[in-house]
Amino acid sequence: MHPKPPAESTHKIDGTQAERVAAVTKQLAAMPSSPDRFSDAHFVESRPATANSARRTSRVLRLTVAPSDLPVWHAALAAIPGCELQLEVMPP
């Protein structure tokens, strides 16, 4: 019988839309030139259980932004290493 591998750790921002926006706004405040307008946010970070794991830490940030803000967000968030960025356009 093989020992069970340690579980992966996951950090996810949950809550209401306002709570998610507030939490992600706080995280993005550390970025020197992050835009500040978005209407919804989701963030999930998964870390492998061991440092020698073949898997890497995975970060997914999904924001809902105004169409006019897309270029600014792309430029600002492209600098986050190892983060998969998903931008959604707010409905008109």
pLDDT per residue as tens digits for the range 31-62? 666 677 788 888 887 876 666 655 677 777 78
Per residue in 54-83, pLDDT (tens digit) is 567 777 778 888 888 888 887 877 777 667
Strand 58-65 to 9-12 pairing = unpaired
Quickly list DSSP for the chain. Answer: -PPPPPPPEEEE--S-HHHHHHHHHHHHTTSTT-----SEEEEEEEE-SSTT-SS--EEEEEEEE-GGGHHHHHHHHTTSTTEEEEEEEPP-
